[in-house]
Amino acid sequence: MRCHNPNSLAALLETAVSTHSALLGRAVHAYIIKTIANPVPSFLSNHLINMYSKLDLPNLAELVLQFTPVQSRTVVTYTALISGHVQNGHFTSAFFQFADMRRERILPNDFTFPCLFKALASLHMPVTGKQVHALALKSGQIHDVFVGCSAFDMYSKTGLKDEAEKMFDEMPERNVATWNAYISNAVLGGRSRNAIEGFIELRRGGGEPNSITFCVFLNACSDSLLLELGRQVHGFLVRSGFDGNVSVSNGLIDFYGKCEEELQGLELGRSVHAVAVKACVEGNIFVGSALVDMYGKCGNIEDAEIAFNEMPERNLVCWNAMIGGYAHQGHADMAVALFEEMTSSRCEVMPNYVTLVCVLSACSRAGAVKKGMEIFESMRQRYGIEPGAEHYACIVDLLGRAGMVERAYEFIKEMPIRPTISVWGALLNACRVYGKPDLGKISADNLFKLDPKDSGNHVLLSNMFAAAGRWEEADLVRKEMKVVGIKKGAGCSWISVKNRVHVFQAKDTFHERNSEIQAMLTELREKMKAAGYIPDTNFALYDLEEEEKIVEVGYHSEKIALAFGLIAIPPGVPIRITKNLRICGDCHSAFKVISGIVGREIIVRDNNRFHRFRDGHCSCRDYW
């Protein structure tokens, strides 16, 4: 290497950064030491520090800093070091370097502050964040659009909602990065509506969204299952030329999958897993997290655990996916144990809004009332997370499932926020389970106000009255549905066999193998009767004679799907059924008996959770 021009050497160091070549960077450094007398010009020292810190060689970067005379150190010197530390996740080191910088009476600039706020957000240090905010305010740099945006992001991520809102309102200028921070933090905080409103405000102001905007906005649409709105955004991003962007395309796939519930394709997922192994990327933190999430959502908790345990490193998404997988299976003890491991001093991973929803949901589904209340009450003080609508809904569900229906109602009345659809829905379901039609009517009336077109709430109330023998009131609810033009969504169950999806409705006789299905249903009824099984006709929910009720519950869609699975899927292979509504109590009891009779594992994914039936038992332990 023959180059005595300092500017050319600086350019080579920049090339080392852009090509991620530590070898080139060290060679240039060696040449500088050999050919340039000490002290090295300060701007070359800055380039060396920037190169080493960006290439995640912090010890070498700090060594260069030590050999740089104090009088030659500037804000550029320290900002290069701090930004490199932050970029590579060394947040504590970044803050210590900032402290050294201030001891040398060097003021941070508009590049330093965003790095600091990001580090403090990751370290969950809101008090120190306020101090840095005050310094930015005192130096007159808080009004810089990037400094203000990073301060807002810090407050949002550390749970200081009021400070974040004030920071956002006081910004004199908002660019697309500002709106992206606003939208993404609203999504992370479970405030999908705020995220949507932010996107609309961005467009009203003439702002042009970028790929990040589209990705986070699609997350907001998928979290609230806003299929039509998401489709409009899809059209808009195609017109804007972002349909070829990989991140946006992934966001679209995720959105449509969540909104349409596209099927838990375990075999397809395994095929993709095999491709990932062949490509040697299964150890990648993002691929690994996706595998954990996929297996958990497909109900295969064992493979989810294997994928989780084999990950060389884990991020928050991975922990949330595993905890969520346990929650869907009803394994509260496992979910709570993993949550405690995650937040222990050994792992030091801070939970977020979603983590607490997952663990509270697990407690709810397993009846762990005491533990669930302890976690809920510790959210603010221990984790700095303000409870949101989803957390309150989990607690209402927790109390309601445990039979504490009146206490759940009192809890709702004491909520500091307006009860949402999910909150009243949780209470309505508890009223259904424990036969509380009068309180159920209160829940339903509130749901009708919030979402008057949802047929599910009307049907649930009607069924509740029917189960209590209050047929006139049940009929009245059905008549009211017709008057306002509400149509009941058809319940259905489906099963995938040889890459083909077979869908069944109650009393379905249209399948090409119907004669075999009916024969299997008859055979199962005879064997169940011999085993002492008696159908629960309370789930017929029609004013019929007893024999008619027995026939009615005998032809529910999930039973027909099971009969087809038994004739179409080879022995020894688990039968996987998905239902768009909650599995009925009679079918649940029947599947337990059938699993013992036929010696098969039966997995049912309803609209609430997984049920794994084996040897006459269900994974939910009859608590659902």
Question: By the 8 A CB rule, do 214 and 237 touch?
Answer: yes
User: What tokens does 232 get?
Assistant: 């409009």
Average pLDDT of the chain to the nearest whole number: 85
What are residue 579's DSSP bridge partners? 493
Report CA 376 to chain centroid distance, whole Å.
18
pLDDT of residue 549: 44
Quickly tell me which residue has 């972002």 as its tokens: 242
Share of the chain above pLDDT 90, in %: 36
Question: By the 8 A CB rule, do 576 and 519 touch?
Answer: no
Q: Which residues touch 322 (CB under 8 Å, ≥6 apart)?
A: 292, 296, 304, 305, 308, 338
Question: By the 8 A CB rule, do 167 and 152 touch?
Answer: yes
List pLDDT tens digits, range 31-56: 988 888 777 888 899 999 999 999 99
pLDDT of residue 542: 45
Quickly tell me which residue has 């949402």 as its tokens: 420
In the predicted model, is pLDDT for residue 455 greater than 50? Answer: yes
Q: What residue type is assigned to position 509 of the chain?
A: T
What mean pLDDT comes out for the span 416-421?
A: 88
Confidence of residue 467 (pLDDT cuts 50, 70, 90): low
Quickly tell me which residue has 């010696």 as its tokens: 599
Q: What is the pTM of this model?
A: 0.57
In the predicted model, is pLDDT for residue 551 greater than 70? Answer: no
pLDDT of residue 519: 94
Backbone angles phi, psi at 605, to 5 degrees: -105, 105
Q: Name the more confident of 474 and 113.
A: 113
In the predicted model, is pLDDT for residue 453 greater than 70? Answer: no
Distance separating alpha carbons of residues 415 and 422, to the nearest angstrom: 14
Confidence of residue 221 (pLDDT cuts 50, 70, 90): confident
Question: By the 8 A CB rule, do 295 and 329 touch?
Answer: no
Distance separating alpha carbons of residues 377 and 439, to the nearest angstrom: 26
In the predicted model, is pLDDT for residue 3 greater than 60? Answer: no
Confidence of residue 456 (pLDDT cuts 50, 70, 90): low
Residue 616: Cβ within 10 Å count: 13
Q: Name the more confident of 344 and 95.
A: 95
pLDDT of residue 537: 59
pLDDT of residue 546: 40
pLDDT of residue 484: 62
Query: Residue 71 gets which letter from DSSP?
Result: G
Question: By the 8 A CB rule, do 144 and 151 touch?
Answer: no
pLDDT of residue 246: 82
In the predicted model, is pLDDT for residue 548 greater than 60? Answer: no
List pLDDT tens digits, range 355-368: 999 999 989 888 88
pLDDT of residue 116: 95
Backbone angles phi, psi at 40, to 5 degrees: -65, 140
Quickly tell me which residue has 């659809």 as its tokens: 421
Distance separating alpha carbons of residues 174 and 407, to the nearest angstrom: 45
In the predicted model, is pLDDT for residue 515 greater than 70? Answer: yes
pLDDT of residue 513: 92
What mean pLDDT comes out for the span 206-231?
A: 86
Q: In degrees, to the nearest 5, what angle opens at C-alpha 264 toward C-alphas 260 and 267?
A: 140
pLDDT of residue 538: 59
Question: By the 8 A CB rule, do 434 and 464 touch?
Answer: no
pLDDT of residue 131: 94
Question: By the 8 A CB rule, do 576 and 566 touch?
Answer: no
Question: By the 8 A CB rule, do 314 and 605 touch?
Answer: no
SS3 397: helix
What mean pLDDT comes out for the span 342-355?
A: 81
What mean pLDDT comes out for the span 175-199?
A: 88
What are residue 605's DSSP bridge partners? 578, 610
List pLDDT tens digits, range 528-538: 889 888 876 55
Distance separating alpha carbons of residues 558 and 584, to the nearest angstrom: 9
Least confident window among 196-210, 232-246, 266-280: 266-280
pLDDT of residue 282: 82
In the predicted model, is pLDDT for residue 261 greater than 50? Answer: no
Least confident window among 2-11, 277-286, 303-312: 2-11
Distance separating alpha carbons of residues 88 and 80, to the nearest angstrom: 13
Q: Which residues touch 595 (CB under 8 Å, ≥6 apart)?
A: 601, 602, 613, 614, 615, 616, 617
* Cα 227 to Cα 111, 183, 263, 265, 489, distances in angstroms: 40, 18, 16, 21, 17
SS3 617: strand
Least confident window among 13-27, 150-164, 485-499, 557-571: 485-499
* Cα 429 to Cα 358, 425, 610, distances in angstroms: 19, 6, 17
| Residue among 380, 321, 353 nearest 185 (CA) | 353
Residue 234: Cβ within 10 Å count: 20
State the distance between the two ends of the chain, measured CA to CA, in whole angstroms. Answer: 72
SS3 503: strand
